[in-house]
Amino acid sequence: MKITVAANAGFCFGVKRATDRLEEALAQARAGETIATLGHLIHNEGYNEGLRRRGVLTVTDEDLPALAARADAEHPVTVLVRAHGCTRETEERLNRFAAENPYFRPIDCTCPYVKKIHRIAKENSAPDKVLLLIGSETHPEVVGILSWFDGEKYVFPDAQALDLAIVPNGVVGMTKKTPVMVAQTTLNLGNWNECQKKLKSIYTNA
């Protein structure tokens, strides 16, 4: 039997970067050190189960204060931020805990492409702009992106939902603000292109 593997099979760039950092943290871990990921590092149940068997904890935002408080010279704590990133508030908390306790170490494994969207959202935060985010409203990446934009913002799953919102009586149709549209990085390209087409047909300042 012949098995052919596609040239682009395997983890994407952002996921590979995150898993490499996790492996590096495990290789450098000291006796007594806790290695944890903030949420599942990546969307791969088999991989995440393998981490659990190797002693890597999966923690939530609510666990961070206790982890930071217990970290000491004999029991340091390393927390890796998942590839999909975290909220602005969580990032600030991690940095604050690290500044207060040298034995608490956060490692940001957020995909650089997600980080770029964070920067776009932050740089465009203004009273005269509105953020239109195409993606799944409850996805950790989307929740994180929203936190970086200060102002009016909406989430739409696809072009059809966006179309309903920007009609004259829709939510976005009521605003005079300049729209800034971004998307969840795993969004289907065809969906993104349809959303762009729809937005540009109505908003000349998009």
Cα–Cα dist 41/173, whole Å:
38
Task: Catalogue the E-assigned strands of the chain.
Answer: 34-38, 57-59, 77-81, 104-108, 129-134, 152-156, 178-183
Cα–Cα dist 83/80, whole Å:
9
Helix axes 112-123, 140-147, angle to 10 degrees: 30
**Which residue among the candidates 23, 49, 89, 141 is catalytic per the annotation?**
141
Instruction: Say how many C-beta atoms besides its own lie within 10 A of residue 199's C-beta.
Output: 19
State yes or no: is 152 an active-site residue: no
Active-site positions read 141
